[in-house]
Amino acid sequence: MILIVIALSVLATLSVGLSIWQFVAAMGFPLHRRETRAESMPRVSVLKPLQGCDAETRECLRSWLTQVGAADVEVLFGVDSEDDPVYEMVRGLIREYPQRAAKLVVCAERLGPNPKVSKLAQLARLAEHEVICASDADVRVPPDFLACATAPLNDPNVGLVNCFYRFANPTTFAMRWEAFAVNADFWGQVLQSVALKPMDFALGAVMIAPRARLECIGGFDALVEFLADDYELGQRIAQGGARLALAPVVVDCWTGPMRFAEVWAHQLRWARTIRVCRPGPYFLSILGNATFWPLCLVLAAPSALVTGAVAIALVWRMAQGLVMERKFAGRGRIDSLWMALVKDILQVGLWAAAFAGRHVLWRGERMRVDAQGRLVRHER
């Protein structure tokens, strides 16, 4: 029992230390800073793979058609068929902005098990400009986004630019949990990783790369079999000798209401994706859970001294979550205090579930992820 208490004491101390390091790394990043060089902004082709729509889709897509200081921008929207309800929505938006070079493309060919990347590959063939921006359908960007996010490309050593994303409209408890995980913790974890070594993975909400860099790795066609296409894209560009840059501008992800089961499936897909891509770091990520290990310690050794120390650790964890979410999302919510503890406890279950199987649910389709991160359709 003494050895167990000693081990839990070490783990609790380590978890708090890692959370402090994460906080320091996050506070040092120039988040939300605007740095535009419109006079040297490259011509950009924006690729938007779409499937279905919800109440937020129209405004998300509109934000790409209203970029300021971006005259030489084309936007290519890709759908599976004209029967998709988003098809008529996009047609209406294109009519609203005749001054913007925008096209709606039916990407009828299925190049691989990843439908998003299949559309990206087909849209890229039609893109006219030398800088390609790939973005998810639920991403809404500020009017100066492209002017800010393309600035790092003035450095010829930069092969890809990506940025952080925040969950903008949590409307249920489950969505609030997911929003806290992203808005308070995920961005700090990324910066903590980057502090150890240069970034060699991409964040998939928005990825901007010169066409020449994409062609060197085989384009999007080389990624159609992978679940974590953003990770693969960043890895391959970094392995080619280019640097990956994080733009300080943050984009918003807007989604319709989701129940707990839907959010859990989404988080589990994400967890299993990371576990396949980075098995070692993902296994060790449980060490940074600054709620779980202190609680385990106080359960194993419920003395006054231990209880007091654990109480201080949990107060720190709650304060850390509140401050980091406020800095990232631009607003603070009092429920961030207890949501930090809830998220950490739920994260233990997700961490364990990530190792319990290889199947993921994506857009209503059940798929298996192999050891290389490739998607295989589930056979009943």
Convert the pLDDT of each residue in 14-66 to its tens digit.
Answer: 999 999 999 999 999 999 988 766 567 889 999 999 999 888 999 999 999 99
**Residues in the chain where the model's pLDDT stays below 70:** 36-39, 69-71, 362-364, 377-380
Identify the pLDDT of residue 201. Answer: 93
Structure tokens of 27? Answer: 């506070």
Structure tokens of 344? Answer: 């950490």
What's the rounded Cα separation, in Å, for the pair 30 and 47? Answer: 27
Identify the pLDDT of residue 371. Answer: 78
Identify the pLDDT of residue 378. Answer: 56
Identify the pLDDT of residue 203. Answer: 94
Residues ≥6 apart with Cβ < 8 Å to 10: none
Predicted TM-score of the model (pTM): 0.92
Identify the pLDDT of residue 39. Answer: 61
Identify the pLDDT of residue 37. Answer: 62
Domains of the chain: 2-28+277-372 (no CATH), 38-258 (3.90.550.10)
Identify the pLDDT of residue 66. Answer: 93
Nearest to 139 by CA among 97, 101, 167, 174: 167
Identify the pLDDT of residue 380. Answer: 45
